[in-house]
Amino acid sequence: MELLTPGVGLIFWQLVVFLLLVFVLGKFAWKPILNALKIREESIEEALNTAEQARQEMEKLKADNAKLLDEARHEREEMLKEARTTANAIKDEARADASKATEKMITDARAAIEAEKKAAMADVRNQITDLSIMITEKVLLEKLSEDQAQKDLINNYIKELKLN
């Protein structure tokens, strides 16, 4: 039964050793252990703060990247729109120039055709006039081959002149 109830001397020495152990540990071990724990706690807190800052920085970078991508898309759309507008303007201008050139060519061709037509008509008139003169000469030569016919013709012309 002695094992179940310790003696007073044993309790006294256990108390003395325990207090001595607490004093020695408090003097030499607790401060370094507590300092190490405090340093460890501060480093963990600093690491958590750094991680939080890094996370916030990443979110900010993601937001900036998304904004830059949106701006780049918008700028690309604007450039494509401007390129389409420019291409359409160039096409319209080319069509207008081609239309003007075609109109000018048609107008020039009509003018050339008209000039050729007038020249041909003048040539036909000249040929008709030459033929008429030749026919008239032949007719007059046949009719005026006699002296009496020539005298009658001259008298007719003189009478007509006097009337006018």
Q: By three-state DSSP, how is residue 1 classified?
A: coil
Q: What are phi and psi of 94, to 5 degrees?
A: -65, -40
User: In the chain, what are the domain boundaries?
Assistant: 26-132
Tokens of 90: 């160039």
The two structure tokens encoding residue 100? 């003007």
Q: Which residue has the higher pLDDT, 148 or 48?
A: 48
Write down the pTM of the prediction: 0.40
Provide the H-helix boundaries in the chain: 8-24, 31-143, 147-163
Confidence band (pLDDT; 50, 70, 90) for 70?
A: very high
Instruction: Report the alpha-carbon distance of residue 53 to residue 65 in Å, rounded.
Output: 18
DSSP state of 6: -
The answer to whether the CB of 144 falls within 8 A of the CB of 153 is yes
Average pLDDT, the chain: 87
For the stretch 81-126, pLDDT in tens is 999 999 999 999 999 999 999 999 999 999 999 999 999 999 888 8
